[in-house]
Amino acid sequence: TQLLEQSPQFLSIQEGENLTVYCNSSSVFSSLQWYRQEPGEGPVLLVTVVTGGEVKKLKRLTFQFGDARKDSSLHITAAQPGDTGLYLCAGHDNYGQNFVFGPGTRLSVLP
Amino acid sequence: EADIYQTPRYLVIGTGKKITLECSQTMGHDKMYWYQQDPGMELHLIHYSYGVNSTEKGDLSSESTVSRIRTEHFPLTLESARPSHTSQYLCASRGRPYNEQFFGPGTRLTVL
């Protein structure tokens, strides 16, 4: 069974600050996804990273996939209250059979 | 943009009632999933399907059942609801080529 770990578990910052959250595993993933979930809603897919070393940008969000495809990071520049939510990483193993979720990082951006 | 829908969004019912939570997707995805999630807690897989007439139980034991008669439709049924079934139920389908899962908005179930 492959596990995804996320850190930090909770993060509370002021509007305008930068932050990075991490997703780590001891196993190789064929792809990793990042989701944001707001209370009472389903997770919304933000990005999929596939290639080791890949960097993708989505406005103020920058996603990176580790060279060995075992870890990923999400960096938010100049955080805004609208970024508040639960950030989940998830991915499939190399065989494409098991899809696993990390426990999430709960981000709160205060105005 | 994912096209996956769940109804109802909210449901409050009494103990012992039979309910069906609807999930449909218009993307032609073969693989579909049901998750259960309590507030502030992790997602737990309760059912999945790899295609028409295929259903499997997930990691978390659930008293619910599912069916997959059509590719686009994956309903979940509780024959006799109990307060312990109170939770959020999320439906998802799996895309190609990167196998990412697309989620519906969820059904928030409260059993009194």
| Secondary structure (H, E, C), chain A | CCCCEEECCEEEEECCCCEEEEEECCCCEEEEEEEEECCCCCCEEEEEECCCCCEEEECCEEEEECCCCCEEEEEECCCCHHHCEEEEEEEEECCCCCEEECCCEEEEEEC
pLDDT score of B73 more than 90: yes
**Closest-CA residue in chain B for A36?**
B103
The CA–CA distances, whole Å, from B41 to A37, A75, B38 equal 12, 23, 5
pLDDT band (50, 70, 90) for residue A105: very high
Please tell me the distance from the alpha carbon of residue B36 to that of residue A4, in angstroms, as a whole number. 19
| A43–B39 CB contact, under 8 Å | no
Q: Residue A17, Cα to own-chain centre: how many angstroms?
A: 18
pLDDT score of B1 more than 80: no
Of the given ranges (B12-16, B60-64, B91-95), which has the lowest mean pLDDT?
A: B60-64
- 3-state SS of B39-73 is CCCCCEEEEEEEECCEEEECCCCCCCEECCCECCE
Amino acid at B96: R
Query: Averaged over A43-72, what is the pLDDT?
Result: 96
| A101–B103 CB contact, under 8 Å | no
pLDDT score of B66 more than 90: yes
pLDDT score of A94 more than 70: no
β-sheet bridge partners, residue B90 = B35
pLDDT at A2: 55
**Closest-CA residue in chain B for A1?**
B59
Amino acid at B54: S
Task: Go through chain A and tell me how many residues it has.
Answer: 111
Query: Averaged over B46-54, what is the pLDDT?
Result: 95
pLDDT score of A67 more than 80: yes
pLDDT score of A91 more than 70: yes
pLDDT one-digit tens code per residue, B4-35 = 999 999 999 999 999 999 999 999 999 999 99
Please tell me the distance from the alpha carbon of residue B10 to that of residue B57, in angstroms, as a whole number. 24
Token pair 């990176």: residue: A64
* Nearest Cα to Cα of residue B56 among A14, A59, A76, A98: A98
pLDDT band (50, 70, 90) for residue A95: low
Nearest by CB to B43, from A31, A39, A101: name it. Answer: A101
Nearest by CB to B108, from A30, A40, A90: name it. Answer: A40
Handedness of CA B68, B70, B75, B78 (dihedral sign): negative
Asked whether the beta carbons of B77 and B65 are under 8 A apart, the reply is yes
| Cβ count near B83 (within 10 Å) | 10
